[in-house]
Structure 1
Amino acid sequence: MKEEDPSLTYTRKYADRSFKGLNEKLELLIHEFKEDRMEKEIQAKYLQTIVDNVTTGIISFDHSGSVHLLNNAARELLNIRQLNMIEDLNKYYQGLGSRIMLLKPREEIAEKIIARDKFHYLSINTSIIKMKGIRNHIITLNDIRHQMEEQEIVSWKKLIRVINHEVMNSITPIITLTTTIKNKLQKKQDKKSLSAIDDKDIKDALASSDIIEERSRGLINFIDRYRKLTKLAPLQLASVDIKEMCGKIQFLFKEEPGMKGIRLKVDCKNTEPLQTDPKMLEQVMINLVKNSMEALENVKDPFIELGYYLDEEQRRIITVTDNGAGIEPEALDQVFVPFFTTKEGGSGIGLSLCRQIMRMHQGEIEIDSKPGKGTKVKLRF
């Protein structure tokens, strides 16, 4: 027993001969068992405390899908209190439990979920260990949304630098045309006399000038639009009455031609002021209302609603909701990527700019949209 070896035995003859010291040995053995059990319980509680306090979600289940471990981080990320079978996750997030069951050792997947009214981008990893001959799956979950957003911003800035480089390269034909005009109007280093300039020279010079003007204006407009993404002014925070701002936007769009037949409603359940940059927030809301307005073309009984309320965590939420065409799932994944647009003639910077402004406020912007049913945009401060 002391050596934890159940194969050892002793005979009655041996017991009779050694009975004298058996009691003392048993008492010592019982004491050692108690010490050993106490140490193991302390270690178990220590490990359980670590598991329950790490920020990584951990789930353990056996080959049948029966869950043996669900730590606090996993409960928080998935917004569940308990989980008996891994496939029970399918009740909350379509097909998630089944996909986890199919994971192979060291395989990683990424899943987008909405829990507690928040968007999460989960990185899910799996490993398998054997205990007493039984295979146990250990799943780890990490919310990598912020890392993804930071990476997007870095990528955007790189992309903008590339575009600026391309813009500068496009000036080359302008210089070429300017040189051509110059050559038409001079001979070597001297100006040509008026009599030496024929109608063809004038025609070519005017045609070149038209192209130069067109290219130049296009470049100026291009740079003005896209530099907004990288040169936002610092925040000028103030206490803002959101209901008043919504009323201002309502009045602003009242005479907008595209708003004909569209009801623009305001529903502000929260009356507390918000510390924000009023000009930037107004720019965000105007962008969102314009997007909604464009999505409501040919929709029966179209409406846009501006809302303001406190969520369960007492965070201030501004919403822009419409019953428009909605956004296709494949497009929804890319709406915040700079220069991506589904609209003809669109710049693709509106929502990118909105997200940057919200990040400056240490807030979030989320979109919930279903094709044919409408879109709801949340600004969470």
Structure 2
Amino acid sequence: MASRNFYFQLIFRVLLIALTALALAFSIVWEWYFTLAFAAFFLWAQVHFLIKFINSTNRKIAYFFDAIRNEDFTLRFPERVSIESFEELNKSLNRVNDLIQEVHLQLQVKEQYYQEILKQASIGIMTFNEKGHILFANPTLEKLLNYTPLNHIKQLAQVDEKLYEVFKTFQPFERKLFQLTNEREQIQLALKSTPLTLDGQSLLLVVVQDIHQELDEKETESWVRLIRVLTHEIMNTITPIASISDSIIKYYRKGGEIVPLEKLDESQIKNTLKGLEVIKEQGGDLMDFVQSYRSLLNVPEPNRAIIDGVGLLEKIDVLMSARLATDTKFSVSCSPKDLEFFIDEKQITQVLINLGKNALQSVKETENGQVHMIAGIDAEGIKYIEVRDNGPGIPPDLMDEIFVPFFTTKNEGTGIGLSLSKRVMQMHGGNLKVHSVPNRETVFRLTFNQSK
């Protein structure tokens, strides 16, 4: 609220203008030309100073915002003035100025802090606008690409023409793998994009990570698991053969000499035949094992065609109905009804039969056992088929082992069903993943990353 002094000044100026206007009128009536000129000039001066007096507050606020916009925090307003209301206004403006300056300094510190984090990050980070201008690229990215400075994505063509094409067509929320080859080495890059808006400008944030070491570690780990399983299976087959062979040799050789035929009795000959039969059986099992390994390596390329989703699941439903136990329920559903898959029908059918058979076996001892096969499209437009069951589930310590070839917890089977199924899905450009909550649900999910 304005002070009494402000009101007095305002009233005095208004009265003075009124008196000047009255003198101006009298001058016009009495034709006092000198007085008329003086009164007109004096009236103009009074109006001008009144407007200037009233607008002084607006000018201060305008100066204040101009200074803030230009990040000039040195502007100070006098806090000792004759008008009390102006004094309070000046103090308030100075306090707001100090507060904004403090916030501005804090933001600068945080910005420097985040900039330093981005510079020291172990992954490459880049942001560029719709025209391809690069607004930020951290040193890690420049080191990965062996190119600096990066100002436009067209410069990536000098690193690798295909890499430029990847960035030029990059879409929000897209993930890509790219193998970068230069004179020094081959680098496997994982690219992930995220859209963002800054100051009304649409930008694309791309994270670039060298996953060569991670892939090497995963590959080594996979080989170790496979070798462990192969060793276990081969040793289980070879050990009885070696033991029986040693027992048979003892029948026919004693003290380093061959036992004459006349000294052999009928029981030794019968045991020899039994041992040879076991050796033949074990050898056959080993041949079947090797044949299973060959079948895993020699999966043919998919012969794809557009297949109706409803028809595919109805076919699986018929094939699975013969395997149902008394209390087991098997059902299929497809949404939308016109869902289609661009797949090799024989291969995917075999995968679904294998998963369905495993699911039915897992719920065999479960009360009200249920297996549900679902086909659909998720929120990201990816087509999928899920095989769900409410069986005992998969123990967490075995989740990383179930897709290893020849690994099995069953007394029957070769243990290549799941690994072969995953291989088929990979050749279809998709994937096979599993989620399991023990004694609640197990879900095997086939995803098809395809546009058709």
TM-score by length of 1: 0.53
Deviation for aligned residue 1:294: 2.1
Residue 442 of structure 2: aligned partner: 375
- Give distance in 1, aligned partners of 2:348 and 2:397: 28
| Cα distance in 2 between the residues matched to 1:341 and 1:250 | 26
The one-letter code sitting in structure 2 at the alignment partner of 1:365 is: L
Q: For residue 137 of structure 2, what is the aligned residue in structure 1?
A: 50
Q: How far apart in 2 are the matches of 1:141 and 1:373? A: 38
2:273 to 201, 206, 214: 206
Question: Which of 421, 425, 428 is 1:354 aligned to?
Answer: 421
Aligned to 1:293, the other structure's residue is in SS state helix
Residue matched to 1:253: 320
TM-aligned CA deviation for residue 213 of structure 1? 2.8
Structure-2 residue corresponding to 1:87:
none
TM superposition shift of 1:231: 2.5
> CA offset at residue 342 of structure 1?
3.4
Distance verdict in 2 for CA 1:160–1:280, change over 3 Å = farther
Listed one character per residue, the Cα deviations across residues 192-221 of structure 1 (whole Å, up to 9, x for unaligned) are 7xx887524532432333322332332233
**For the residues of structure 1 that align with 2:210 and 2:370, how far apart are their CA atoms?**
35
> Which residue number corresponds to residue 38 of structure 2?
none
Q: CA, structure 1 residues 243+284, in 2 after alignment: closer, same or farther (shift >3 Å)?
A: same
Distance 2:435 2:208 in 1: 23
Shift of 1:183: 6.7
Other structure's SS at 1:253 match: helix
Listed as ranges, the gaps of 5+ residues in structure 2 are 1-126, 142-169, 175-189, 193-206
Q: Is the 8 A contact 2:248 2:272 kept in 1?
A: no
Residue 144 of structure 1 deviates from its aligned partner by 5.7
The residue number in structure 2 matching 1:266 is: 332
What's the CA shift for 1:289?
Answer: 0.9
* Amino acid of the structure 2 residue aligned with 1:50: A
CA distance in 1, matches of 2:244, 2:367: 53
CA drift of 1:178 comes to 12
8 Å CA contact 1:181, 1:205 repeated in 2: no
Give the structure 2 partner of residue 329 of structure 1.
Answer: 396
The 1:161/1:234 distance shift into structure 2, 3 A limit, reads farther
CA gap of 1:211–1:164, structure 2 versus 1, over 3 A, is closer
| Aligned-partner residue type, residue 279 of structure 1 | K
Q: State the structure with more CA Rg.
A: 2
Q: Could you list the per-position Cα deviations for residues 307-329 of structure 1 after superposition, in whole angstroms to 9, with x for gaps in the alignment?
A: 11122332221111112222222
Between the aligned residues of both structures, percent identity stands at: 27
Q: CA deviation at 1:366?
A: 1.4
Alignment counterpart, residue 385 of structure 2, candidates 318, 322, 338: 318
- Pick from 334, 352, 367 the counterpart of residue 285 of structure 1: 352
Q: Aligned partners of 1:166 and 1:333: how far apart in 2?
A: 23
Q: Secondary structure at the match of 2:321?
A: coil
Judge which range, 369-378 or 169-178, deviates more. 169-178
Find the aligned partners of 2:350 and 2:137 in 1 and give their Cα distance.
46
Q: CA deviation at 1:369?
A: 1.4
Counterpart Cα distance in 1 of 2:357 and 2:210: 32
Which letter does structure 2 place at the counterpart of 1:324? Answer: G
Q: Which amino acid aligns with 2:387?
A: V
State the TM-score, normalized to the length of structure 2: 0.45
Structure 1: unaligned runs, 5 residues or longer: 1-43, 55-72, 78-119, 123-139
RMSD: 4.3
> 1:174–1:212: 8 Å Cα contact kept in structure 2?
no
* CA distance in structure 2 between the partners assigned to 1:315 and 1:262 by the alignment: 30
Ranked by relative contact order (alpha carbons within 8 Å, sequence separation 6 or more), the top structure is 1
Once the two structures are TM-superposed, the CA of residue 244 in structure 1 deviates from its matched residue by: 1.5
Who is 1:302 aligned against? 369
SS of the residue 1:288 aligns to: helix
The one-letter code sitting in structure 2 at the alignment partner of 1:277 is: D
Tell me, in whole angstroms, the C-alpha distance in 1 between the residues paired with 2:320 and 2:355. Answer: 12
Give the drift of 1:47: 6.8
Contact 1:339/1:348, CA 8 A, preserved across alignment: yes
**Is 1:363 paired with 2:438?**
no
Equivalent pair of 2:307/2:341 in contact (CA under 8 Å) = yes
Contact 1:336 1:355 in 2 (8 A): yes
Q: Which secondary structure state, in structure 1, belongs to the residue aligned with residue 288 of structure 2?
A: helix
The residue number in structure 2 matching 1:238 is 305
Give, in angstroms, the shift of residue 378 of structure 1: 1.0
Give the number of the structure whose residues are more often helix, by fraction: 2
1:177–1:212: 8 Å Cα contact kept in structure 2?
Answer: no
C-alpha distance in structure 2 between counterparts of 1:283 and 1:181, whole Å? 49
Letter in 1 for 2:273: L
User: What CA distance in whole angstroms lies between the structure 2 residues aligned with 1:174 and 1:232?
Assistant: 36
Distance 1:207 1:343, change over 3 A: closer
Q: Is the 8 A contact 2:366 2:392 kept in 1?
A: yes
Task: Give the whole-Å Cα distance in 1 for the aligned partners of 2:363 and 2:244.
Answer: 45
Counterparts in 2 of 1:204 and 1:149: CA distance versus 1, 3 Å = same
Is residue 366–residue 391 contact of structure 2 (8 Å, CA) maintained in 1? yes
From 276, 295, 303, the equivalent of 1:228 is: 295
| Partner residue, 1:215 | 282
On the 8 A contact 2:331/2:371 being kept in 1, the answer is: yes
Q: Tell me, what secondary structure is at the counterpart of 1:252?
A: helix
